[in-house]
Structure formats: C-alpha cells, structure tokens
C-alpha cells in the first residue's frame, strides 16, 4: 500500500474528530484533497491558496539565501574593514554562508514553529481547517527583523501577530492588518532597543558592545545603516578604538562616502535580513507580477509616491527653507531616486503592500493606496530620524484605510453611471 493510500485511510479515521483539522493540514500539504463537488456549474482553476503562497515563498527564497551570505559578510567586514574594498571577492564565501545560516535559520524555525502551532491550536479549538495563510508570513518575518533579535522576543511577537493580526478577525482572508507587519510593529514598540540603533544590524555587535561597556578589551562593532548615516549627518560621534582611545568623528552629508551606490543596489550593506538586495527584490517583483499574484499597480504607485515625497524634500533643501543644523537636513538631502535603493521601501512595496487580503481591491484604489504608502513612508523616514524608516507603519496605516478607499472608488463609479443613465433617459 502506497503512502498516499495510508494517509487517506488515516484521514477517514480522523474524520469528524477533534484533531481532524490538524491532520488534514498535514495531509493536504503533501497531496491535493480528494474532495470533489457534485451538481451545478463550477470553474476549476489551476491555482489555489497553497500554490499562490508557494510562489510567493519561491520569490522570497533568493532574498533569504542572500541574507545569509550578507549576515556573515557584515560580521567579518565589521572586524576587518578591508573586506569592503572588494565585496564581490569576499561576499560569496563558505564562511559567510555558514555564519549566516547559523544565525538566520533559528529565526526561520521559530517563526514557522510558533506561528503554525498557534494556527493549529485555533483550528482545533474552533473546528475549522488549517489554512495556508501563514506560509508566507512565516517566511517574511525572519526577513524583516534584525539578525540578532532574541528568539524568545520573536516567539512572543509571532504569537501576538497571529492572534491579534489574524485570528481575532476570523483567520486567513478576514484580517485587516498584514500579520508580518503586525509582528514587526509589536517588536518595534515593545523592544525598541533591539530594533533600532547601529548595534542591531551586525551579528555579534550587541554582544561586543556590552563587553566593552563591562570594561573588556573587545573591538567595537557597529552596523550603521545608510538611513542611520544620513540621519546623523553633520553630527559628532565618539567612537572607542581597539586600543581604548576615544576618537571623535563627524558624519558626512552623503552616505555614499561610506557605501557606494553599487553596494546599496546589490545589497552589500547592513540592514534587515531580506531587505538589502534591491536586485533580488526586483527579481521577486517580476515573478509576482508575471504570475499575477502581486499587483503591479500597487508596486509602481508605491514607488511613485516615494519619489514624489523625495522630490518635495529635495526642493525644500534647494530653496533653502531648512538650515543645515536641522536634524531633518541629512535625510532631506537624499536624492529622491536614492530613497528606492536604501531602507526597506522596495521590499515593502513588493512583498508587503501587495498582500491581496489587506490591500485595496479596486484598480483605481490600488493606485491611491500604493501612492499614499510611498508618500507617507518617506515622510516618516525624514521626520523621525531616531528611527529613519517608516514603511511598515505606512503600510499598516493604509491597511486600515484600504476599505475606505475602495468604498469611495465604488461610490464614485456608481455616481458616474447614474449620471450617464440620466443623460440617456432624458
């Protein structure tokens, strides 16, 4: 007897019992369900929720693998700055990959293990089938957090995100907030010191910083992101050298003095695990657009909104309406197009804003929804230099307003059709 037949017999055995949803979830993860419809006219599509989620995961896998290499590369480059002189020669190495795998794989395991456990628990308690909605969320979460986030913090955040972000609304397809961003928002507000600063983006940097504070002779390591560098432009910073001496440095006005534009595009920079490589994010965007899973309208309108806000800030600087001593000056000087290759605006536009459940559903609504996400993201990025990234807040805000946008778009269509009807009948 084949494995499929054995699983089918077990399914019949558990049918109608309390644990049936949990078993069915494991069964249909490997095989198609053998249930068929009878009577009536039905249209059978080649895609379903499981395959849709699997395609999104495949679009995320390159970012995950690159993030593993980058975690190791940033760690070793922080210890030896000469490695940054030739990133292509020093990036794709076995040591970098092993270091990244050892650091990031536990994040993936905790994200899926805790999240799916909560999903199974709610399915058994409520008596409904386990849906595949968490498959993408479980992959997204490790990609949008710092590399050294404590695993217990991640577990607590995942429980909060799945329960509050999904289950209280009725589960997959009923939630109004993106679960992955709900998890990140919880981490940001509950444990801000682990989500911001220049010590959270490099593996081992936090541990070394604590060792230095304790008086131990350990080289300082920091992982300043491009946005963090711009936010501190013109400010003085005291750095402790390896010999114990204190060195006062002044941040420049341009972050490309620290990282080249090529580094920013290819992803050889500190940041969240999956957000650094813009080239791979663009590849993922093409996959989602080609398979019609991600809305190209939302992606492009988000980028247009970000560019528009960047142009406004560049204009303010050129007009001389803001002084160089202002804490907002550094981020306002960022070239408008460069906002797209620093931070997580591109990652958010491709993988977060396009969530079909929480995004606008009408075509015109998608343009408005995406534009406002990009516009507000750059606004938060500039006006909040203590945390110069606002993509997740902007997307969560527009998740709430997406139904309202669609409502007014539909009402506008109804009014226009009513006017046309009056003209024809007059």
Angle separating helix axes 278-290 and 49-79, nearest 10 degrees: 170
Maximum Cα interatomic distance, the chain, rounded to a whole number of Å = 89
Write b or e for each residue in 118-132: b if 16 or more Cβ atoms lie within 10 A of its Cβ, otherwise e.
bbbebbeeeeeebbb
User: What is the C-alpha separation between 77 and 36, in angstroms, rounded?
Assistant: 57
Range 409-413, long-range pairs (CB < 8 A, 24+ positions)? 409/360, 409/362, 409/364, 409/365, 409/368, 410/362
**Residue range 315-344: average pLDDT?**
86
Write b or e for each residue in 268-297: b if 16 or more Cβ atoms lie within 10 A of its Cβ, otherwise e.
bbbbbbbbbbbebbeebbebbbeeebbbbb
The two three-digit tokens of residue 373, written as one number: 């996400």
**Residue range 278-285: average pLDDT?**
96
Q: What is the pLDDT, as a whole number, of residue 195? A: 84
**Cβ atoms of 176 and 358 closer than 8 Å:** yes
Question: Is 239's pLDDT higher than 50?
Answer: no
Question: Looking at 120-129, 299-308, 409-418, which range is the least confident one?
Answer: 120-129
Residues in the chain: 426
User: What is the C-alpha separation between 52 and 293, in angstroms, rounded?
Assistant: 7
**Which among 57-71, 206-220, 224-238, 409-423 has the top mean pLDDT?**
57-71
- Could you tell me what percent of the chain has a pLDDT over 90? 43
Question: Is 391's pLDDT higher than 70?
Answer: yes
Question: Looking at 231-240, 285-294, 409-418, which range is the least confident one?
Answer: 231-240
User: What is the C-alpha separation between 72 and 78, in angstroms, rounded?
Assistant: 10
**Cβ atoms of 147 and 173 closer than 8 Å:** no
Question: Is 379's pLDDT higher than 50?
Answer: yes
User: What is the C-alpha separation between 279 and 258, in angstroms, rounded?
Assistant: 20
Q: Which residues contact 187 (CB under 8 A, 6 or more apart)?
A: 145, 149, 153, 154, 157, 194, 195
| Strand positions, DSSP E, 174-284 | 236-240, 246-250
**Cβ atoms of 293 and 55 closer than 8 Å:** yes
**Which among 182-186, 291-295, 367-371 has the top mean pLDDT?**
367-371
**Residue range 152-169: average pLDDT?**
90
DSSP string across 357-397: TTS--SHHHHHHHHHHHHHHHHHHHHH-TTS---HHHHHHH
Question: Is 288's pLDDT higher than 50?
Answer: yes
User: What is the C-alpha separation between 122 and 175, in angstroms, rounded?
Assistant: 15
User: What is the C-alpha separation between 185 and 203, in angstroms, rounded?
Assistant: 22
**Which among 32-36, 117-121, 208-212, 393-397 has the top mean pLDDT?**
393-397
Which residue stretches of 127-178 are H helix?
Answer: 134-143, 151-165
Q: Which residues contact 241 (CB under 8 A, 6 or more apart)?
A: 220, 247
**Cβ atoms of 77 and 83 closer than 8 Å:** yes
Domain boundaries, the chain: 3-33+48-194, 275-418
Q: Which residue has the tokens 């490997």?
A: 30
CA distances from 270 to 63, 108, 383 (A): 14, 19, 22
Angle separating helix axes 94-126 and 49-79, nearest 10 degrees: 140
**Cβ atoms of 311 and 336 closer than 8 Å:** yes
User: What is the C-alpha separation between 109 and 95, in angstroms, rounded?
Assistant: 21
Question: Is 12's pLDDT higher than 60?
Answer: no
User: What is the C-alpha separation between 400 and 381, in angstroms, rounded?
Assistant: 20
CA atoms within a 13 Å half-sphere pointing along the CA-CB vector of 368? 17
Position 202 confidence tier, pLDDT thresholds 50, 70, 90: confident
Q: What is the CA radius of gyration of the chain?
A: 24
**Cβ atoms of 378 and 306 closer than 8 Å:** yes
Q: Identify the DSSP state of 238.
A: E
The backbone region for 146, taken as left when phi is positive above 0, alpha when psi lies in -120 to 50, beta otherwise, is beta
């Amino acid at each position: 007897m084949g494995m499929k037949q054995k699983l089918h017999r077990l399914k019949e055995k558990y049918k109608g019992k309390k644990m049936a949803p949990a078993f069915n979830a494991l069964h249909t993860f490997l095989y198609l369900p053998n249930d068929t419809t009878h009577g009536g006219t039905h249209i059978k599509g080649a895609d379903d929720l499981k395959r849709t989620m699997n395609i999104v995961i495949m679009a995320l896998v390159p970012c995950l693998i690159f993030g593993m290499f980058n975690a190791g590369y940033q760690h070793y480059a922080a210890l030896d700055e000469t490695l940054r002189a030739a990133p292509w020669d020093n990036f794709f190495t076995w040591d970098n990959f092993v270091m990244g795998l050892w650091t990031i794989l536990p994040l993936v395991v905790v994200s899926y293990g805790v999240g799916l456990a909560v999903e199974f628990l709610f399915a058994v308690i409520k008596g409904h089938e386990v849906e595949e909605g968490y498959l993408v969320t479980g992959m997204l979460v490790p990609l949008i957090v710092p590399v050294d986030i404590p695993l217990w913090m991640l577990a607590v955040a995942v429980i909060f995100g799945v329960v509050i972000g999904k289950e209280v609304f009725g589960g997959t397809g009923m939630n109004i907030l993106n679960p992955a961003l709900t998890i990140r928002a919880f981490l940001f507000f509950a444990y801000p010191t682990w989500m911001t600063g220049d010590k959270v983006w490099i593996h081992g940097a936090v541990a070394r910083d604590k060792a230095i504070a304790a008086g131990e002779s350990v080289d300082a390591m920091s992982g300043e992101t491009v946005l963090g560098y711009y936010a501190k432009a013109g400010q003085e910073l005291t750095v402790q050298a390896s010999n114990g001496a204190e060195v006062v440095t002044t941040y420049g006005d341009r972050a490309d003095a620290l990282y080249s534009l090529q580094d920013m595009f290819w992803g050889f920079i500190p940041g969240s695990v999956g957000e650094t490589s813009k080239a791979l994010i663009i590849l993922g965007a093409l996959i989602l657009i080609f398979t019609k899973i991600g809305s190209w309208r939302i992606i492009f309108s988000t980028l247009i909104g970000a560019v528009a806000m960047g142009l406004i800030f560049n204009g303010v600087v050129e007009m001389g309406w803001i002084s160089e001593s202002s804490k907002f000056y550094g981020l306002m000087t960022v070239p408008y197009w460069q906002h797209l290759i620093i931070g997580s605006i591109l990652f958010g536009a491709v993988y977060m804003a396009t969530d079909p459940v929480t995004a606008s559903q009408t075509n015109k609504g998608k343009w408005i929804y995406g534009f406002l996400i990009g516009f507000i993201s750059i606004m938060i990025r500039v006006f909040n230099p203590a945390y110069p990234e606002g993509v997740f807040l902007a997307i969560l805000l527009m998740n709430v307003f997406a139904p309202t946008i669609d409502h007014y778009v539909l009402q506008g269509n109804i009014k226009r059709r009513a006017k046309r009807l009056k003209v024809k009948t007059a």
